[in-house]
């Protein structure tokens, strides 16, 4: 967990500096939401989200092309014996949160969440 957070901070700093040459990444504002590291520390999956989700496919392609170079930058900034191989994934947790919020806001769910005062009054009368 600690290594993943350290990698997240390093990746955030690298992407914020904007020194990547890939055209898809030059004007992109990218948020690194989480980094999951394998138990042997050889592989790391970075979950990222372009600002506003705009042009996600193009940004992801740029990150995948730039992964070896980004790995070399991470190796300079993070004190590990060996820099992990980086895999970039689009963070879908925001979409999932929106889906759950929509389900909770639906009339059927709202109805089920309301207290059933009439039913409890009938049960108390028995």
pLDDT of 113 higher than 70: yes
**Containing H/E element for 72?**
helix 56-77
Handedness of CA 79, 65, 53, 46 (dihedral sign): negative
User: Domain 2-92 carries which CATH code?
Assistant: 3.30.300.20
**Containing H/E element for 104?**
helix 93-105
pLDDT of 30 higher than 70: yes
Domain boundaries, the chain: 2-92
Q: What phi-psi label fits residue 68: left (phi over 0), alpha (psi between -120 and 50 degrees) or beta? A: alpha
Output the pLDDT for position 115. Answer: 76
Residues 52-56, mean pLDDT to the nearest whole number: 73
- CA-based end-to-end distance of the chain: 55
Structure tokens that stand for 53 in this block: 């989700």
């Amino acid at each position: 967990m600690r290594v993943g957070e350290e990698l997240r901070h390093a990746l955030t700093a690298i992407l914020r500096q904007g020194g990547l040459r890939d055209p898809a990444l030059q004007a992109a504002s990218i948020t690194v939401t989480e980094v999951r590291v394998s138990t042997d520390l050889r592989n790391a999956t970075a979950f990222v989200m372009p600002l506003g989700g705009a042009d996600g496919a193009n940004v992801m392609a740029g990150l995948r092309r730039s992964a070896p170079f980004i790995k070399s930058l991470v190796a300079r900034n993070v004190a590990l014996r060996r820099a992990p191989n980086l895999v970039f994934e689009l963070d879908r947790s925001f979409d999932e949160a929106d889906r759950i919020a929509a389900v909770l806001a639906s009339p059927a769910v709202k109805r089920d969440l309301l207290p059933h005062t009439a039913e409890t009054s009938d049960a108390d009368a028995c």
